[in-house]
C-alpha cells in the first residue's frame, strides 16, 4: 500500500481509547474491489462489545459536554490538521478499500476534513435566544444542550466524509459517538480514529465498531443510552432502523437513497450541461446518493446533448483507482455489477437503446463500462431504481410541465439538477422539484457549508451547515420568575 505512516492502517476497533478485537476472535475480511484480494481483517463485533462501546461513550459524555465549546473546537482543529497532514496516506487507504480514483480520494479527504473545521467553528455559535415574555413577572430564554450519546452508521461510498460529516457535528455539540462504518470500507474510519487519538480526543468520546450490521444496528436502536441515531445508506435499511428505534423513541436522522433527475432544457448551454452531467453522473463511478440517475432532455437539444455526452463518456478511462489518469474505478462488489446488468437488460428488452458501453469492462471483476442509454421510459426499472453505477439513462421530454412530472415521478427526493438560461424558469423549476437539494446550471451541490439531506423516501435531517449542528442539540426552554 506504500503508506508513509503504516501505523495508520489499523485493523482493530477503537473503543474507549483502546484497540480491541471481538470477544469471539471473529473477523470480517476487507476486499480490494479492483482485484478481489483481501487487504485486511477487522473484528466482527457483536451485541456485547457494542454495549461496551455504548457504555464507554456514555461514561465520557459528562466530561465532554462540560468542556467549553472553545475547548471542544480545539480538539477538532487538531484532528482536522492531522487528517490534512496525512492526506496522501488516507487517500491511498480509501482507494484501496473503496476503489475510487486516487484523485477523487484525495478530494474526499479534503472534503471530509472540512466538516471537522466547519463544525469546530460552529461549536462556539450554538446560541440560544431570549423570547419576549407574555408575563410581566417572568422571563423566557432557550439554551441548547447536546443530545447525548449518538450512534452513526456510515456507508462505503464516501468512507471518510460521511464519518466526519456526522461525528464532527456531534462532537462539536458536546455529544459522544459510536460509529459503525460499512463492512466494505472500515479501514478509513479506523485510520480516522488513530488520528483522533493522536489529536488527544479523550477516551470514549469517539468510538469505532466494526461487524455485522444487524447485531450492531439492533443494539444501537434498542439501547436506552443512545439519544440519537444517524444513518446514511439504503431506504430499505433506513426504514428498518427507524422502526426498531421507535421502541426507545430515539431521534433518528436518515440520509437514504436518491433518484436524482438531471434536466436539460433546450435553452441550456450544451457544453456546460455536458460537463455538469459528467460530474453529476461519474463521480465515484456513479456510486453516490446524489448522482444523476435520470437524464431528462428536451427534444430540441436531445441530439446535440447525446452526441457531446457520448464523446465525453467514451473518453473516460476505466481502471484501478491507483493508476495514473483513471477516471472511473471498479464498482464496490459483484452484486453491484449484477444489479446494473439486470437493469440494463430489462430496459433494452422494453425498447431502450444502448449508445455506448452497456456491459462488463474487459478488465473483468467489478469493472463496468461507462454507459449511455437512451429511450428510457418511466415503466422501466432503470428509471425508477437507484442505479449506483456508471450508467447515464436518458429520457426525452417535450415541455416544462412534462419535465416536472417526470422528475417528481419517484418516491425519492434527495437531489435534482437542471440546466436552463431562463431565469424565470429556474425559479419555477427550483420550487416545483420535490427534493432537498437543487443544482441549477451546476452538476455538483455538496459542500460543508450547505444543508445536505432529502425528503420523501430519501429520508430526513440535514448534515453540514449550521443546520447540521442543530441535529445534535436539544432546545431547552427556561422560564424565570422575577
Ligand atoms: C452520498 O452520496 O451519500 C454523499 C455524497 C456527497 O456528500 O456529496
Q: Among the options 175, 289, 386, 470, which is catalytic?
A: 289
CB of 417 closer than 8 Å to CB of 438: yes
CB of 370 closer than 8 Å to CB of 282: yes
Backbone angles phi, psi at 9, to 5 degrees: -85, 95
Q: Among the options 49, 255, 463, 470, which is catalytic?
A: 255
Q: Which residues of 133-156 are buried (b: 16+ CB within 10 A; e: fewer)?
A: eeeeeeeeeeebebbbbbbbbbbb
Nearest protein Cα to ligand 1, atom 5:
288
Beta bridge partners of 41: 29
Q: Provide the pLDDT for residue 247.
A: 93
Q: Provide the pLDDT for residue 285.
A: 97
Rounded Cα distance between 29 and 185, Å, is 10
CB-ligand 1 contact for 458 (6 Å cutoff): no
Half-sphere exposure of 360 (CA within 13 A, CB side): 13
What is the CA(108)–ligand 1 centre distance, in A?
10
Q: Is the pLDDT of residue 255 over 90?
A: yes
What is the CA(22)–ligand 1 centre distance, in A?
30
150-to-205, 257, 345, 371, 450 alpha-carbon distances in Å: 10, 22, 43, 40, 22
CB-ligand 1 contact for 157 (6 Å cutoff): yes
What is the CA(289)–ligand 1 centre distance, in A?
6
Q: Provide the pLDDT for residue 334.
A: 97
CB-ligand 1 contact for 290 (6 Å cutoff): yes
Rounded Cα distance between 190 and 210, Å, is 9
For β-strands 292-298 and 391-397, DSSP reports them as: parallel
Regarding pTM above 0.85, the answer is yes
Rounded Cα distance between 468 and 480, Å, is 30
CB-ligand 1 contact for 284 (6 Å cutoff): no
Q: Is the pLDDT of residue 1 over 80?
A: no
Residue 120's SS3 state is: helix
**Known catalytic residue: 255?**
yes
CB of 287 closer than 8 Å to CB of 331: yes
Kind and range of the H or E element at 403?
helix 400-407
List, in sequence order, the alpha helices (H) in 28-68.
Answer: 47-66
CB-ligand 1 contact for 288 (6 Å cutoff): yes
Give me the chain's average pLDDT, please: 98
CB-ligand 1 contact for 446 (6 Å cutoff): yes
Q: Stretch 222-249: mean pLDDT, rounded? A: 97
What is the CA(138)–ligand 1 centre distance, in A?
46
**Known catalytic residue: 474?**
no
Q: pLDDT, tens digit, for every residue of 362-406?
A: 999 999 999 999 999 999 999 999 999 999 999 999 999 999 999
Backbone angles phi, psi at 322, to 5 degrees: -85, -10
Tell which atom from ligand 1 comes closest to the C-alpha of 290. Answer: 2
The residue to mutate among 159, 288, 464, having the most atoms of ligand 1 within 8 angstroms of its beta carbon, is: 288
CB-ligand 1 contact for 289 (6 Å cutoff): yes
Q: Stretch 42-51: mean pLDDT, rounded? A: 97
CB-ligand 1 contact for 50 (6 Å cutoff): no
Q: Provide the pLDDT for residue 19.
A: 98
Q: Provide the pLDDT for residue 465.
A: 98
CB of 99 closer than 8 Å to CB of 329: yes
Tell which atom from ligand 1 comes closest to the C-alpha of 446. Answer: 8
Nearest protein Cα to ligand 1, atom 8:
446
What is the CA(125)–ligand 1 centre distance, in A?
26
Q: Provide the pLDDT for residue 100.
A: 98
The residue to mutate among 109, 110, 118, 157, having the most atoms of ligand 1 within 8 angstroms of its beta carbon, is: 157
Beta bridge partners of 131: 140
Grid cell in block for residue 125: 455559535
Q: Is the pLDDT of residue 94 over 80?
A: yes
What is the CA(55)–ligand 1 centre distance, in A?
30
Q: Provide the pLDDT for residue 444.
A: 97
Nearest protein Cα to ligand 1, atom 3:
289
Residue 404: closest CA among 433, 426, 439: 433
Q: Provide the pLDDT for residue 317.
A: 98
Q: pLDDT, tens digit, for every residue of 13-30?
A: 999 999 999 999 999 999
Give residue 407's pLDDT band: very low, low, confident or very high (50, 70, 90): very high
Nearest protein Cα to ligand 1, atom 6:
446
Amino acid at each position: 500500500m506504500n503508506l508513509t505512516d503504516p501505523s495508520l492502517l489499523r485493523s482493530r476497533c477503537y473503543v474507549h481509547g483502546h484497540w480491541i478485537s471481538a470477544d469471539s476472535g471473529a473477523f470480517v475480511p476487507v476486499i480490494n474491489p479492483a482485484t478481489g484480494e483481501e487487504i485486511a481483517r477487522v473484528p466482527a463485533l457483536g451485541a456485547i462489545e457494542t454495549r461496551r462501546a455504548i457504555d464507554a461513550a456514555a461514561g465520557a459524555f459528562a466530561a465532554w459536554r462540560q468542556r467549553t465549546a472553545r475547548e471542544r473546537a480545539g480538539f477538532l482543529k487538531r484532528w482536522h490538521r492531522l487528517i490534512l497532514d496525512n492526506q496522501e496516506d488516507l487517500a491511498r487507504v480509501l482507494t484501496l478499500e473503496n476503489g475510487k480514483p486516487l484523485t477523487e480520494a484525495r478530494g474526499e479527504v479534503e472534503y471530509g476534513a472540512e466538516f471537522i473545521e466547519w463544525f469546530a467553528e460552529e461549536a462556539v455559535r450554538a446560541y440560544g435566544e431570549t423570547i419576549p415574555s407574555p408575563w410581566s413577572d417572568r422571563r423566557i430564554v432557550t439554551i441548547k444542550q447536546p443530545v447525548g450519546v449518538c450512534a452513526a452508521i456510515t456507508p462505503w461510498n464516501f468512507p471518510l466524509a460521511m464519518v466526519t460529516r456526522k461525528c464532527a457535528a456531534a462532537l462539536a455539540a458536546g455529544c459522544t459517538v459510536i460509529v459503525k462504518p460499512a463492512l466494505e470500507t472500515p479501514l478509513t474510519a479506523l485510520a480516522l480514529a488513530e488520528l483522533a487519538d493522536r489529536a488527544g480526543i479523550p477516551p470514549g468520546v469517539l468510538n469505532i465498531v466494526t461487524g455485522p450490521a444487524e447485531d450492531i444496528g439492533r443494539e444501537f436502536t434498542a439501547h436506552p443510552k443512545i439519544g440519537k441515531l444517524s444513518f446514511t445508506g439504503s431506504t430499505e435499511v433506513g426504514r428498518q432502523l427507524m422502526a426498531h428505534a421507535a421502541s426507545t423513541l430515539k431521534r433518528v436522522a436518515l440520509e437514504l437513497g436518491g433518484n436524482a433527475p438531471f434536466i436539460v432544457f433546450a435553452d441550456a448551454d450544451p457544453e456546460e450541461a455536458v460537463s455538469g452531467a459528467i460530474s453529476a453522473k461519474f463521480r465515484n463511478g456513479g456510486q453516490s446518493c446524489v448522482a444523476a440517475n435520470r437524464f431528462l432532455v428536451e427534444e430540441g437539444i436531445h441530439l446535440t446533448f447525446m452526441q457531446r455526452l457520448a464523446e465525453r463518456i467514451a473518453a473516460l478511462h476505466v481502471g484501478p483507482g491507483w493508476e495514473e489518469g483513471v477516471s472511473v474505478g471498479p464498482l464496490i462488489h459483484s452484486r453491484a455489477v449484477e444489479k446494473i446488468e439486470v437493469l440494463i437488460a430489462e430496459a433494452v428488452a422494453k425498447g431502450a437503446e444502448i449508445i455506448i458501453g452497456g456491459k462488463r469492462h474487459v478488465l473483468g471483476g467489478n469493472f463496468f463500462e461507462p454507459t449511455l442509454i437512451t429511450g428510457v421510459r418511466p415503466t422501466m426499472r432503470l428509471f425508477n431504481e437507484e442505479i449506483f453505477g456508471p450508467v447515464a439513462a436518458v429520457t426525452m421530454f417535450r415541455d416544462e410541465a412534462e419535465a416536472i412530472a417526470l422528475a417528481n415521478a419517484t418516491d425519492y427526493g434527495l437531489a435534482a439538477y437542471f440546466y436552463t438560461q431562463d431565469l424565470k424558469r429556474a425559479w419555477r423549476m427550483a420550487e416545483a422539484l420535490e427534493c432537498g437539494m437543487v443544482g441549477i446550471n451546476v452538476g455538483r451541490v455538496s459542500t460543508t457549508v450547505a444543508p445536505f439531506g432529502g425528503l420523501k423516501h430519501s429520508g430526513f435531517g440535514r448534515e453540514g451547515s449550521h443546520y447540521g449542528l442543530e441535529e445534535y442539540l436539544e432546545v431547552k426552554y427556561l422560564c424565570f420568575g422575577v
